[in-house]
Amino acid sequence: MKSNIRNAVRRTQQSFEMTTKPKVAKAFKEAKRLELFDIDWYQEHYGTFPHELAAFEDYLEKSKSSNVNPSANFDTELYLRCNVDIYLNGISPLIHYMYHGRHEGRISSGVINRWLPATELVPRDSTTWKDQKIAIVLHVFYADFVAKFAETLRCFPTSVDVFVTAATRQIERDATKTFSKLSNVNRVKSAVCENRGRNFGPFLVNFSKELLNYELMCHMHSKKSLYSGREQTQWFDYLHNFLLKDKHAVKSVLRLFDEHQDLGTYYPSSFWMMPSWVNHWTCNKPFAKGFVDDWGLDISDSFVNYPVGGMFWARPKALEPLLNQAYSYEDFPAEPLPNDGSWLHALERVIGLLSEKQGFKQFFYYPPLGRFTTDKTQISSSYYKTPEQLLGDVSKFDIVSFDIFDTVLRREFNEPDYAKFKLGKELVSQGYFDSPQAFIEQRNEAELACRKAVSFAGDISIYDAYQQLAKDKSLAVALTAQWAEKEFYYDLAMALPKDEMVKIVHELDATGREIWFVTDIYYSKAQITKMLRKIGISIPYKLFVSADIKKRKDAGTMWTYIKQLVDDSGQSFIHIGDNVRSDAQICGDFGLQNVHVLNPMDKWRIAGFEIPTFDDETAIIKWGKLVSNFGRYPYFGE
């Protein structure tokens, strides 16, 4: 996959270089002739400019990394999403479209309104916004970022103090010398840091309490990655633009902080090329336990607003519980760290929650509209999609794989343990258990014991769990095997189709796509086949069940197996599923394309409904059915 992308990037770059790069003035005239650049439209969204050409140049530079638009007639984000080779080459999308893309038949469109903020913050001028005491906190790991930050600070609209943590002594010297020469920098304080704590540890170890003396702070760090054979800085450039570099955005942020003393943190909406689930807790909730205990944070939601990438503006008072502590590097996890799932990943996610707990609000910048807002719903805007759009997104792949539970199949009462509860009631009446809850607890403990016995490798079957229960309760294995069958049939009776998704499965089959189902579950392949038949799946398919082949998605072993099958087939592949970790993040780690869809409870939460508690059967029957029906289609837009 990556080699194919690298080749596409190289071909695009060669094609672009073979023709003379158009001069900006000439390109500007062509953009106006084609009605693709509109100075009035652009200034309405992105601030005033001294002349039209300056505005055009502003767009050309920002559009390489940011989803800003030149007019109502060209959608930057769509062009770069549909033409990833242009994005990876760092080519301005409008220039490419005018001189190459429109002749090559590349996909483009007018501006698409993907999200409309419910609130808008309009910055107002005042006599005091320049008087705020500001700290710019920079962590510099890559030496070339010293010059990049210096160029930005040179144009910063107010005087600042600069705090620098550097990866090496040479970077520290260069940063101190370079930043000290800037006329608007009052003082520079620097430190050489240990390779521990990533971008958070160094500034917390060296400067945390001192930052409480400032009204505002901006935290940034050098960030780059190698992908497709070319250094990629688009994510950094996007954050850099709207946190520190773009004059209109920065002045607006400072004015808004000055006018609204209840604003605590600011950052632009999550980088638009990140996956839809980027604002999810993923596997980081266990690492946030200390923050919950110490600060009383509520992390019950699956999705969370946070500065993805760890760069943000904040009112230090809003982060006082974090800053008003003494830190050492030993307080932070040692390298190497995983790509996700650590104390630092959890810390990044609680920045906004801590600010809110302190009584402040978060606010954001949404580049496609050029608006500032306190509306937090942008993080779920990728989950507004009609069935037709979803079908279109996946129909270009040869093999389309689906998770089963909460993706194509829903449970009538949206409670996985309700089948166990119903069986438990029956067993209570027969005198085997004191309550349904007691049965569920012992049945689940038996399953856990089986998993421990195999060191959580591979997977176990429902019959393994009930054999263990027979041993624990001194019961006949044949009897508990009957219980296992009953649990399955209770679950089968409550299995319902997610109608729109089942329809998509059949429509894909009708157009010649190969259908796979991949699930982590303790049921047998034969049992899952019955469930698929129950929900109306009536086409040929391949079925991969963890209990059958002893490989799991969440452990990565299933994806190792699937990846080899896909590579051997030479066909294109995409997987659709509701579990952020096993169906999206881990799947993607193997280089497999995927689409994340919402499970019913996450859709319920995002819609803003009160979260029900399923603590008794009455609540399960009442609320579980409502949640299940609401989540039948796994997007908004049905």
Q: What's the fold here for domain 129-373?
A: Spore Coat Polysaccharide Biosynthesis Protein SpsA; Chain A (3.90.550)
Same fold, 129-373 and 387-410+498-630: no
pLDDT digits (tens, 9 = 90+) for 112-137: 999 999 999 999 999 999 999 999 99
Give the pLDDT of residue 513. Answer: 98
Rounded to the nearest integer, the mean pLDDT of the chain is 95
Helices (H), 135-265: 145-154, 169-180, 200-207, 234-240, 247-259
Three-class SS of residue 68?
coil
Per-residue confidence at 342, pLDDT binned at 50, 70, 90? very high
Per-residue confidence at 334, pLDDT binned at 50, 70, 90? very high
pLDDT digits (tens, 9 = 90+) for 406-464: 999 999 999 999 999 999 999 999 999 999 999 999 999 999 999 999 999 899 999 99
Domain chopping of the chain, boundaries: 2-104, 129-373, 387-410+498-630, 418-493
Three-class SS of residue 259?
helix
Q: What's the mean pLDDT in 530-536? A: 98
Residue 3, pLDDT above cutoff 60:
no
The mean-pLDDT minimum among 185-199, 224-238, 422-436, 454-468 falls in 224-238
Per-residue confidence at 232, pLDDT binned at 50, 70, 90? confident
Residue 67, pLDDT above cutoff 70:
yes
**pLDDT more than 70, % of the chain:** 96
d(CA 588, CA 595): 10
Residue 15, pLDDT above cutoff 70:
no
Side chain identity, residue 353: L
d(CA 3, CA 89): 15
Strand pairing report for 263-268 and 312-314? antiparallel
Q: Domain 387-410+498-630 maps to which CATH number in 3.40.50.10300, 3.10.20.30, 3.40.50.1000, 3.40.228.10? A: 3.40.50.1000
pLDDT digits (tens, 9 = 90+) for 437-449: 999 999 999 999 9
Q: What's the mean pLDDT in 550-563? A: 97
pLDDT digits (tens, 9 = 90+) for 287-328: 999 999 999 999 999 999 999 999 999 999 999 999 999 999
State the first-to-last Cα distance of the chain, in angstroms, to the nearest integer. 33
Please give the model's pTM, rounded to 2 decimal places. Answer: 0.92
Angstrom CA distances, 542 to 359, 427, 518, 564, 565, stand at: 53, 36, 9, 15, 12
Residue 58, pLDDT above cutoff 60:
yes
Three-class SS of residue 605?
helix
